[in-house]
Amino acid sequence: MTVQNAGKTPSRKQRLQEKQRRQLAVVDTVDKAEVKLRKAEAELALAVAEAVQVFGDEHAASQGLDMPAEAIRRFIDIAAAETAAAAEDAAGGAPAEPDAAG
């Protein structure tokens, strides 16, 4: 009687290919989530920048939004970068972040 493992147990090559496929799928999922996160962060940054204008200054916005002043400043910096990038794109310039493509 002969043992037939070929039909039941994948070969080392098949196991490696499946592991690599799962790894690539996870990397793709993380990449897509990072893009969503950057978009959401940029949207939040623009909203925080608008809140600073509405509240009058960073301190008042920090209190009104119940957000640390450091976070307010970080979002203002992000909003400024987004605004600069949008202006550069509108002017036909190169992308502001060269590592965004990679």
Residue with tokens 């493992």: 5
- Quote the pTM value: 0.67
Residues 97 and 68: their CA atoms lie apart, in Å, by: 27
* Residues 61 and 50: beta-carbon distance below 8 Å: no
* Residues 59 and 51: beta-carbon distance below 8 Å: no
> Which residue in 87, 70, 81 sits closest to 46, CA to CA?
81
| The total number of residues written for the chain in this structure | 102
pLDDT digits (tens, 9 = 90+) for 20-64: 999 999 999 999 999 999 999 999 999 999 999 999 999 999 999
pLDDT of res. 71? 96
Residues 55 and 37: their CA atoms lie apart, in Å, by: 26
Residue with tokens 């509108």: 90
